[in-house]
Amino acid sequence: MRDESTTEELPTGADSRLDVATKPDTVPEREFTVKERSQAQVVFKRFLQHRLAMISLVVFILIVLFAYIGPLVWKFTPGYISEDNSAPPSGTHPFGTDAVGHDTLAQVMRGTQISLQISVLIAIFATIVGTIWGSIAGYYRGWIDTVLMRIADLILTLPLLAVAAVLAHQVGGTWWLIAVVIAGLYWAYVSRVARGVVLSLREKEFVEASKALGASDARIIFRHLVPNALGAIIVNLTILVSIGILLETALSFIGFGVQPPDTSLGLLVSNAQTAVDTRPWLFYFPGVFIILIALTINFIGDGLRDAFDPQQTKVRA
């Protein structure tokens, strides 16, 4: 027979567990939390971990500051003519002067401005046109795809530099018209990339769900397919910036690019080609900036490509 006066001892902590069990409104404290990050945060973190891309980004930002902030603080303008003709680099003229007396540093700043503006406009214009063109072709397929891609193939078969030189000569050497001419020949490359990505995305479940909900073709293309292809599009945009500055340099070097009194890095190199042995600073300083811009943009593109791959919307931290 059990003695009622005898109390049974409970293990340590049992009272608290019983209290939790008998109080349904009490929620146990979580021991850990799971944090979700968006795709943009994941891409940004991966890009920060790409050392060469980060170094290139810093260098490119410094070049942009040099081109746009430098003229505001530098004492000479591109059109200023000093009494120091063909002077080598010095404290007064860090990049030297040309035969007329123009300060080379001021001219390189202005030339970098124009070259950057041309290359960026080429990249933006060609990317927009090529993305729309390729997305429509990849989504509809059939005869629409055939017609649109044959037109793009026709553009790709043209001798780019020769056609760009003739068209640039017709527009008179204005920098933004030169950019439009070059972009009008390069959008076909972007359309190929966009079409390939859209062809793979159009079979995904979210596209079928959008169709079932009654979404229009335009909404599916521009609200679902293009944003999901943004990784490849951005990488190609950076590559086009590099290609644009090299092509502008080539056009200006052969005399079909930017025309005086304005200037560009390509035009500065072209004007100094006969003075490489006597006044090498006129040739090498703008040449170094061309190389730096092209290399940094390429490395930034490599970092973005690695950051966007593999594709995923959310991951657990």
Q: Confirm if 109 and 74 have CB atoms less than 8 A apart.
A: yes
- Beta strands 36-37 and 315-316: pairing type? antiparallel
CA pair distance 273, 99, nearest whole angstrom: 13
Q: Which residues contact 107 (CB under 8 A, 6 or more apart)?
A: 78, 98, 263, 268
| CA-atom Rg of the chain in angstroms | 30
Q: For 68-124, how does the pLDDT look when each residue is reduced to its tens digit (9 = 90+)?
A: 999 999 989 998 888 888 889 988 899 999 888 899 999 999 999 999 999 999 999
CA pair distance 138, 140, nearest whole angstrom: 6
Read off the pLDDT of each residue in 223-236 and give the average, rounded to a whole number.
86
Q: For 257-303, how does the pLDDT look when each residue is reduced to its tens digit (9 = 90+)?
A: 888 888 899 889 988 888 888 889 999 999 999 999 999 999 998 88
Q: What is the pTM of this model?
A: 0.80
Which CA distances in Å does 130 have to 38, 71, 150? 27, 35, 14
Beta partners for residue 103, in sequence order: 97
Which segment, 110-124, 204-218, 235-249, is predicted with the most confidence on average? 110-124
Nearest alpha carbon to residue 179 among 231, 243, 88: 243
